[in-house]
């Protein structure tokens, strides 16, 4: 099956009864099985209903963080300003690009790399992709120590928003299914993750 063939960690398999099952201990939430399932049998957990409910409630302002990849998602038919305008019409208080946090992430990772090299480490990898960090943790644990401890641009941007507006709720909008798992971590300060 396409979902089984696409899984880079072999976490998904088809049993004798032809039902696919996922071994959570091997899954990195990369989303390849979802994208490649022709039947729609493998789906991501959606937070869209909860987000829609909160967008209608005036209690907490909801800020959107959008991944820069959105520019390429819609081709030339939709300008970036139109996407932001549409999100504001839906009820978001404001929308910022994750690139705001990416600048901070790069700055912090450069400092961390310099410190690690001075301590004799030979290399450091990025911590920005939760599917990558989970793959290392589950499949190559001996390399886990080399992953940067710096938080991803999504988390850095959420922190910046919540430092300015503590009552804000933050929604990350991006293409990556693995960000949903990252958004559930308490330290992420992200309330919702939706994908395009």
Give pLDDT tens digits for 183-194. Answer: 998 889 999 999
Q: What is the structure's pLDDT at 191?
A: 95
Q: What's the confidence (pLDDT) of residue 136?
A: 94
pLDDT over 90 (residue 4): no
The predicted structure's pLDDT at residue 2 = 85
Q: Find the helix or strand (DSSP H, E) in which 20 lies.
A: strand 20-22
CA–CA distance from 103 to each of 108, 149, 151, 175 (Å)? 9, 16, 12, 20
What whole-number percentage of the chain has pLDDT above 70? 100
Crossing angle for the helix pair 153-164 and 99-118, nearest 10 degrees?
120
Q: Which residue has the higher pLDDT, 6 or 41?
A: 6
The mean of the pLDDT values for the chain is 91
Q: The tokens of 171 are what?
A: 């929604």
Report pLDDT for 89.
96
pLDDT the model gives residue 78 = 84
Q: How far apart are CA 97 and CA 101, in angstroms?
A: 8
Is the pLDDT confidence value at 58 over 90?
no
Spell out the alpha helix ranges (H) of the chain.
Answer: 2-6, 32-36, 48-56, 70-73, 80-90, 99-118, 130-139, 153-164, 178-183
Q: Which residues pair with 13 in a beta bridge?
A: 21
State yes or no: pLDDT of 65 exceeds 90.
yes
Contact assessment for residue 63 and residue 92, using Cβ atoms and an 8 Å cutoff: yes
Q: What is the pTM of this model?
A: 0.88
Supply angle C-alpha 44, 103, 71, rounded to 5: 50
pLDDT, mean of residues 16-26? 84
Q: Per-residue pLDDT for 143 more than 80?
A: yes
User: What pLDDT shows up at residue 135?
Assistant: 93
| C-alpha distances out from residue 175 to 3, 9, 181, 193, Å | 18, 20, 13, 10
């Amino acid at each position: 099956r396409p979902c089984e063939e696409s899984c880079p960690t072999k976490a998904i398999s088809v049993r004798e009864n032809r039902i696919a099952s996922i071994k959570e201990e091997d899954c990195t939430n990369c989303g390849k099985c979802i994208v490649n399932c022709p039947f729609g049998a493998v789906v991501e957990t959606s937070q869209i209903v909860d987000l829609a409910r909160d967008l209608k409630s005036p209690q907490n302002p909801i800020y959107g963080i959008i991944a820069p990849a959105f520019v390429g998602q819609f081709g030339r038919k939709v300008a970036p300003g139109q996407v932001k305008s549409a999100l504001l019409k839906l009820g978001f208080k404001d929308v910022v690009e994750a690139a705001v946090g990416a600048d901070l992430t790069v700055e912090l990772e450069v400092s961390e790399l310099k410190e690690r090299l001075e301590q004799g480490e030979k290399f450091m990898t990025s911590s920005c992709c939760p599917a990558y960090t989970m793959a290392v943790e589950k499949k190559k644990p001996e390399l886990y120590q080399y992953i940067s401890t710096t938080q991803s641009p999504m988390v850095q941007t959420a922190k910046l928003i919540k430092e300015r507006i503590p009552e804000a709720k933050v929604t990350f909008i991006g293409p990556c299914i693995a960000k949903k798992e990252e958004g559930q971590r308490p330290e992420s300060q992200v309330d919702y993750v939706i994908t395009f």
